[in-house]
Structure 1
Amino acid sequence: MTMRSEAKCGVLRGKYELGRFLGHGTFAKVYHARNLATGDSVAMKVVGKEKVIRVGMMEQVKREISIMKMMKHLNIVELYEVMASKTNIYFAMELVCGGELFAKVTKGRLLEDPARHYFQQLISAVDFCHSRGVYHRDLKLENLLLDEDGNLKVTDFGLSALSDHLRQDGLLHTTCGTPAYVAPDVIGKKGYDGAKADIWSCGVILYVLLAGYLPFQEDNIVAMYRKIYRGDFKCPPWFSPESRKLITKMLDPNPNTRISIAKILNSSWFKKKSTVRQSKSKLEQEFALGDGVNGKGNEPETLNAFHIISLSEGFDLSPLFENTKKIDKEELRFGTMTPASSVISKIEEVAKTRNFSVKKSDSCVRLQGQESGRKGKLGIAVDIFAVVASFLVVEVKKYSGDTLEYNQFCSKELRPALKNIVWTTTGNSMPEC
């Protein structure tokens, strides 16, 4: 059965209307799709199960799903939900319409200010990934998209690794990536630090933005690898001294002395303010709207089976219905049989102790701190979904501010305040549909 015939048969639950073909990769095809309920456009990535299983890639697909669920950031393509049929896995993703950053560079090198603008957004996204133990491992211009507002969006986490994949030596060992962007420590086959490998790739990207061509270019890949090993490249004369200094530190062939993201953020070239205006994140826009937060009605949205898959850890549904001990660093999720109004009241009580600003509807709450922390004001989004009428799933996420501050708030204040309403598998039964 074809993907389109599956859609007609309701495999997508009548939720998405599939449109034109957008492109394809080794294991996936991407279509334009429209959410029939909201009218919003999405990119629908379709992965054939049989092909993925045949080449032993199912674990990689599960890992990509798990990683992308963690990646809620303005400069990272968002995964909305995952659906599955007998033959396909469907990824409903943010549709990014501005094309690849690569297309801009093919027209000529960028001036320093727009190059800095994109590079600042790239480093923000990569720093976010690393803070959650995620290493992209295939950063390149072709994987950097632009939205209609000119915001950079990192995509394609198919080769990403988690800190869980480190061996006993604390390093990653899988050689992967695109040759012209790959770090010498990755091709050295002695193990590498995923964060430092990503920084090298970011250095290559910055070089290309400013130069209009790659720092390591050879017709023979072996000769190119020799140059990469030695860090053998030259900056063109139009590079400013500050940009030249930063790129040289990022393209240091010795990973032990290569610059860290913390030092990149503190470098004089990086810290210059861009004249290119950045748009607010979707959640920040929602918070500013006040009444009618999240555009939801008066009742919690009802979850179908596909929603539940997208909310769970990969394809394992158990974390939804157990006391949430294992959670993402920026996300807390639990089930409850307490009415949504009572959940919201308890959250409001906690918010008062911290002097948070509160915006709410009957199915969601947005909290925002009044004081700036290490990374600005702490912002927290709480959304409530109904599995059945008497059973709710509550999802808590950070949308701005420092992750450490958020985790401390959740562990010391929010969790203790909500512990009496969290549904656990011990001594409880799932309510009847």
Structure 2
Amino acid sequence: MAGKTKIYFAMEYVKGGELFNTVAKGRLRESAAHKYFQQLIAAVDFFHSRGVYHRDLKPENILLDETGNLKVSDFGLSALYETKRQDGLLHMACRTPAYVRPEVINKRGYDGKKADIWSGGVILFVMLAGYLPFHDANLMVMYKKISKGEFKCPEHFPSEVKKLLSRILDPNPFSRITLAKLVNYTWFKKGFKQINKPPILDQEQDESPRSIFDIVDDSDAESSSRYKEQSPSTMKPTCLNVFDIMSLSPAFDLSNLFEKDKSCRSEARFMTQNSASTIVLRLEEVASMGSCKVKKKDGTVKMQGSREGRKGKRAIDAKIF
């Protein structure tokens, strides 16, 4: 929320506190660690699919709600896909010593996805053991252990977990297990329930007719008796407010503070001499070719694909000013 002089954040209250506080009381049972690890990897898969890499995953940045569900927090050091250099790797060394990846210690560029997987493996070890896999009073000695992947699992660790950790905490990022293979690992899949993403469009309430007349001005709407019953409020083009004008300059774009999942969207702005009706007609033609559902209101055309992908359904929003 934003006023004339201040910006306000309203965030979820997570009553259970940090995962760190839970682990500090002692190692977790396998069932609890298994559940939290599944939720953690599901969360990692979600924000990776949106082009975001956390880069500082640790128990202090993981919260638990009152029902025991895991929440990933503190994305202050996260990076977007677009911040990669020409070599396709990230180069900024954001790290907490005990969770740092070997490729960062070796001062090489690193893949944000594989970096988060490594941190997830350290967290799994901590939950089951109650202590860190790589630890030494001498920081340089600890870094050498991390670089070589030298750690030892306690005897009470299930054999499946030991094998999985050996794949996750692989110092070679090229042979380290990928997220796609991890989620299909036998131990990980036990009791795992995939969450179905809700559709972007409300299909039950999507009763707007597929016509250009529900977003153009009243004179256009009145030219067709078929749409005389359409509410005038749905026929007005969008007006620019101060935040829209500011966002035209990337340096002053505050939309990331207010909009969800903007990082996963490709955005383009353009000017045209064509009328609003011509623009919308063309958008409807594109939607028809792609078998997309269309919803229109207040100068905005929303299109959503019918097929579900790993990142959800394809969606396009077009605003006409």
State the TM-score, normalizing by the size of structure 2. Answer: 0.68
CA contact (8 A) 1:368 1:378 kept: yes
Would you say 1:290 and 2:290 are equivalent positions? no
Unaligned 5+ segments in structure 2 are 209-232, 255-261
State the SS of the aligned residue for 1:368.
strand
Q: How far, CA to CA, are the matches of 2:288 and 2:5 in structure 1?
A: 45
Partner of residue 184 from structure 2, selected from 256, 266, 269: 266
CA contact (8 A) 1:199 1:250 kept: yes
Distance 1:118 1:105, change over 3 A: farther
CA contact (8 A) 1:355 1:369 kept: yes
CA contact (8 A) 1:356 1:370 kept: yes
Distance 1:312 1:148, change over 3 A: farther
1:104-140 CA-partner distances (Å, limit 9, x unpaired) = 44455262442243223233135325xx4x5443222
State the SS of the aligned residue for 2:268.
strand
Which residue of the partner structure matches residue 11 of structure 1?
5
Would you say 1:177 and 2:113 are equivalent positions? no
Mapping 1:65-214, distance limit 5 Å: 95-98=11-14, 99-106=17-24, 109=28, 111-128=32-49, 132=51, 135-145=53-63, 150=69, 152-158=71-77, 160=79, 162=81, 164-166=83-85, 171-214=89-132
Which residue of the partner structure matches residue 265 of structure 2?
330
Which residue of the partner structure matches residue 256 of structure 1?
174
Which residue of the partner structure matches residue 384 of structure 1?
319
State the SS of the aligned residue for 1:185.
helix
The one of the two structures with greater contact order (alpha-carbon pairs below 8 A, sep at least 6) is 2
1:269-323 CA-partner distances (Å, limit 9, x unpaired) = 3344425x84745xx3653563499xxx634554433344457544489xxxxxx
CA contact (8 A) 1:309 1:315 kept: yes
CA contact (8 A) 1:172 1:193 kept: yes
CA contact (8 A) 2:83 2:90 kept: no
Distance 1:270 1:307, change over 3 A: farther
Q: How far, CA to CA, are the matches of 1:332 and 1:190 in structure 2?
A: 31
CA contact (8 A) 2:33 2:124 kept: no
Q: Which amino acid is 2:265 matched to?
A: E
Partner of residue 349 from structure 1, selected from 272, 285, 288: 285
CA contact (8 A) 1:173 1:190 kept: yes
Count of residue correspondences = 281
Distance 1:203 1:350, change over 3 A: same
Q: How far, CA to CA, are the matches of 2:311 and 2:72 in structure 1?
A: 21
Q: How far, CA to CA, are the matches of 2:207 and 2:154 in structure 1?
A: 53
Q: Which amino acid is 2:288 matched to?
A: K
1:28-70 CA-partner distances (Å, limit 9, x unpaired) = xxxxx3xxxxxxxx34xxxxxxxxxxxxxxxxxxxxxxxxxxx
Partner of residue 305 from structure 1, selected from 226, 242, 256: 242
Q: CA deviation at 1:330?
A: 3.0
RMSD: 3.9
Identify the structure with the greater strand proportion.
1
State the SS of the aligned residue for 1:202.
helix
Partner of residue 297 from structure 2, selected from 361, 371, 375: 361
Q: CA deviation at 1:217?
A: 2.7
Q: How far, CA to CA, are the matches of 1:288 and 1:235 in structure 2?
A: 50
- Percent identical: 40
Q: How far, CA to CA, are the matches of 1:250 and 1:215 in structure 2?
A: 12
Q: Which amino acid is 1:128 matched to?
A: S
State the SS of the aligned residue for 2:305.
strand
Q: CA deviation at 1:182?
A: 0.4
Structure possessing the higher radius of gyration over alpha carbons: 2
Q: Which amino acid is 2:46 matched to?
A: A
Q: How far, CA to CA, are the matches of 1:266 and 1:212 in structure 2?
A: 26
CA contact (8 A) 1:106 1:212 kept: yes
More moved, 99-108 vs 209-218: 99-108
Q: Which amino acid is 2:40 matched to?
A: F
Q: How far, CA to CA, are the matches of 1:152 and 1:331 in structure 2?
A: 27
Unaligned 5+ segments in structure 1 are 1-6, 17-32, 34-41, 44-94, 318-326, 386-391, 393-433
Distance 1:341 1:268, change over 3 A: farther
State the SS of the aligned residue for 1:262.
helix
Q: How far, CA to CA, are the matches of 1:279 and 1:372 in structure 2?
A: 10
Q: How far, CA to CA, are the matches of 1:356 and 1:330 in structure 2?
A: 17
Q: Which amino acid is 1:160 matched to?
A: A
Q: Which amino acid is 2:188 matched to?
A: F
Q: How far, CA to CA, are the matches of 2:128 and 2:111 in structure 1?
A: 26
CA contact (8 A) 1:291 1:360 kept: no
CA contact (8 A) 1:151 1:279 kept: no
CA contact (8 A) 1:292 1:361 kept: no
Which residue of the partner structure matches residue 29 of structure 1?
none
